[in-house]
Structures are given as structure tokens and as C-alpha cells.
Amino acid sequence: MSEGDGYAGIEEFYDYTIPYRDRQDVHFYVDEALRAGGPVLEVGCGTGRVLIPVARAGAVITGLDASDAMLSVCRKKLECEPEEIRRNVRLVYGDMRSFDLGTVFSLVTVPFRPFQHLLTVEDQLACLAALRRHLAPEGRLILDLFNPSLQFLGDPKTLETPLEEPPFEMPDGRRVLRRIRILSRDLYKQVQQIVIEHEVTGPDGVNIHRSGPLTLRYIFRYEIEHLLARAGFELETVYADYDRSPYGSKYPGDLICLARRT
Ligand SMILES: C[S@@+](CC[C@H](N)C(=O)[O-])C[C@H]1O[C@@H](n2cnc3c(N)ncnc32)[C@H](O)[C@@H]1O
């Protein structure tokens, strides 16, 4: 990752976190993988939250990630899958800015915002060049970003008060309370530094697990269109949601870009 493995130490909670567990994007990626009719590359595959359902649907998929911690969760989950699903999957440790798998894919996806970990235009263009090299001529790229909310960014209270989510329970009975603290926000560089805290209550008392910190860059709709064009992509569709509602139909919504090679 651009800043070390910011997910190490919190990876075991990822799949149980309510907003991740309930995210309505998996069916969208499964549909797109089946529609592509060829091998899929998921960049920033993490714990396999999307990758495993795609493999279960019958697609052949390679997952790339720069976090050993996240990949190890994915590997453990795969061990519980039957052989006919496991053989559809290849996992690779690598950086999305500089990888070379020596093959091309019908579909390249970057689900749930890994691209926002890239903090400079140079890194963004290096990543898009790597994605393009791995895309078959008629293939498609799906780059999934959040649409920045101007109200949220302009509200100083969001820097003072951590966002606390309802608690959830781990399979072993530990109770977890998750908080996201925004440590800093640079409105000029379009970056926010956050830390994700997990307050875990178990038989041995209360422990706090912290992420990274993680630094994320937010990107606006026409900014991504220009970046894609510089990298040799043409934007085909932009969705605001995984139900395929068009960009602009809700605010802020998501910024889900479907692009082809020019
Ligand atoms: C929010 S998670 C998304 C994981 C998964 N795609 C999902 O939908 O649940 C972001 C992932 O991007 C990965 N990542 C961040 N920077 C990366 C980089 N430079 N190269 C490859 N992966 C990266 C992280 O390790 C993490 O697993």
C-alpha cells in the first residue's frame, strides 16, 4: 500500500462490520463478471468480500492486494470453499500502481474504493496504466469511488466528533464497537486522514484495535473522467448506486465508473 499496511490489526473485523456486511454491491459485481464472459481481475480484493461470491457464481477471478493481513483473511475463507470454486481463484500480493500479471482480463474491477488510497496524480495515473495493460481490447473497467459530499467536507463537526456505528458481534461472541475518527482534512490536496478504532469487549476485558491511519483522497466526477481520458479510457456509464441508478439521481450517492479502452 502507499503508506504501509493500514488494515493490519483490524482485518479480522472487516467482514462483520455492519456497513460492509450490508453493502449492496456484491450482486452488481457478480452480474458484471458473468456478463464479461471471461476472466476477471479484482484490484484491491481485500478479504474477498466481493471476490468469493464472484468465484461462486462461476467466474474465473484473480485478486490482487497490497495487504498481507487482508489477503490472509481471504485465503482462510477460500480454504472453506469447495475445490471447484477454489480453482476459479488466484490471489496475488501486489501494488495496484506497479503490477504485472502477464495476462489480460475481460473485466477489471476496483470495488469499494481502493483507488482512493492513491494520494497523487502520478500514483493514480500509474495505477490506471497498470489496469489498462491488464484489460483485453474489448474489456471493461469498473472503478468504484465515493462521491464527495460538499456538506460533509464543509462541516467542522465531522472533524471533532467520531462517527460511531452500532455494535456488532464476532462469531466467537466478542462485542465490537467501531468508531471512525477523521484526524485531518486537507481541502486543497483533497485528502482526509482517518483512523478506524475497534473497541472489543471479550472475556479478558476491553481492548482497542486501531487501523493505519488510512489516508484517502476524494475525487470528483469530472476529475475522474479527465484522469481516465489521460490514461486511455473512455467513460461509458456513471452510476450513483449498485441498483444502476444514474449518477446525479441522488446526493451524494456513489461514483461508479464503467469505462473502456480508447
Ligand atoms: C476498502 S478495502 C476494499 C476491499 C474489497 N475490494 C471489498 O470490496 O471489500 C480497500 C483495499 O484496497 C487495498 N489497497 C490499498 N492500497 C493498495 C495498493 N496500492 N495496491 C493494492 N491494494 C491496495 C487494501 O489493502 C484493501 O484491502
Q: pLDDT tens track of the chain, all 262 residues? A: 444 588 999 999 999 999 999 999 999 999 999 999 999 999 999 999 999 999 999 999 999 999 999 999 999 999 999 999 999 999 999 999 999 999 999 999 999 999 999 999 999 999 999 999 999 999 999 999 999 999 999 999 999 999 999 999 999 999 999 999 999 999 999 999 999 999 999 998 999 998 888 999 999 999 999 999 999 999 999 999 999 999 999 999 999 999 999 9
pLDDT of residue 94: 98
Pocket test for ligand 1, best of 67, 107, 127, 191 (most atoms within 8 A of CB): 67
Pocket test for ligand 1, best of 72, 73, 101, 117 (most atoms within 8 A of CB): 117
Angle between helices 121-133 and 221-230 (to 10 degrees): 60
Longest dimension (CA), the chain: 57
- Residues 97 and 190: their CA atoms lie apart, in Å, by 19
Residues 6+ apart with CB under 8 A from 215: 2, 3, 117, 119, 191, 192, 193, 194
Task: Please give the distance, rounded to the nearest whole angstrom, from the Cα atom of residue 205 to the centre of ligand 1.
Answer: 31
- For residue 2, what are the CA distances in angstroms to 13, 101, 246? 22, 20, 32
- Exposed/middle/buried for residue 147 (C-beta within 10 Å: 0-12, 13-18, 19+): buried
Task: Please give the distance, rounded to the nearest whole angstrom, from the Cα atom of residue 204 to the centre of ligand 1.
Answer: 31
pLDDT of residue 5: 87
Q: Which CATH number fits domain 11-147+219-261: 3.40.50.2300, 3.40.50.150, 3.40.50.1220, 3.40.47.10?
A: 3.40.50.150
Please, are residues 2 and 118 in contact by the beta-carbon 8 Å criterion?
A: yes
Question: Which residues lie with the beta carbon below 6 Å from any ligand 1 atom?
Answer: 1-2, 7, 44-46, 49-50, 65-67, 70, 95-97, 111-114, 117
Task: Please give the distance, rounded to the nearest whole angstrom, from the Cα atom of residue 6 to the centre of ligand 1.
Answer: 10
Which spans in the chain are helix H? 18-21, 26-36, 51-56, 68-79, 83-86, 121-133, 150-153, 157-160, 221-230
Instruction: Report which residue type is found at 29.
Output: Y
For the whole model, what pTM was predicted? 0.96
Spans of all domains in the chain: 11-147+219-261, 150-216
Report the side by side order of strands in the sheet with 233-239. Answer: 89-93, 61-65, 40-43, 105-110, 135-146, 254-261, 233-239
Q: Which residues pair with 90 in a beta bridge?
A: 62
- Residues 150 and 131: their CA atoms lie apart, in Å, by 29
Please, are residues 96 and 128 in contact by the beta-carbon 8 Å criterion?
A: no
Task: Please give the distance, rounded to the nearest whole angstrom, from the Cα atom of residue 202 to the centre of ligand 1.
Answer: 28
Task: Please give the distance, rounded to the nearest whole angstrom, from the Cα atom of residue 57 to the centre of ligand 1.
Answer: 22
Task: Report the nearest-CA residue for atom 9 of ligand 1.
Answer: 49
Pocket test for ligand 1, best of 5, 96, 194 (most atoms within 8 A of CB): 96
pLDDT of residue 197: 96
